[in-house]
C-alpha cells in the first residue's frame, strides 16, 4: 500500500489520506481515510 496524497480534497471536507495498492487479482485499488480516524504507528516496516 502506498500513500498517494495527504491533505484536503475538493469533494469532501477535512483532510484525507488516499492510498493505492494492487489487490490479489492484480487490479489497482484505492481507498480514502479521513484524518480523524487515523492513528500514528510507532513501529513501521518498510519494504
Give the integer Cα–Cα distance in Å for 13 and 43: 30
Give 1-11 pLDDT, tens digit per residue.
888 889 999 99
Q: What is the pLDDT of residue 39?
A: 84
SS3 of residue 37 by DSSP: helix
Check if the beta carbon of residue 3 is closer than 8 Å to that of residue 19.
yes
pLDDT exceeds cutoff 90 at 18: yes
Domain ranges of the chain: 2-36
Q: What is the mean pLDDT of residues 14-38?
A: 94
pLDDT over 90 (residue 19) = yes
Amino acid at each position: 500500500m502506498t500513500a498517494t496524497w495527504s491533505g484536503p480534497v475538493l469533494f469532501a471536507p477535512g483532510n484525507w489520506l488516499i492510498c493505492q495498492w494492487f489487490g490479489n487479482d492484480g487490479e489497482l485499488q484505492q481507498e480514502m481515510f479521513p484524518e480523524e480516524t487515523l492513528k500514528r504507528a510507532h513501529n513501521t516496516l518498510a519494504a
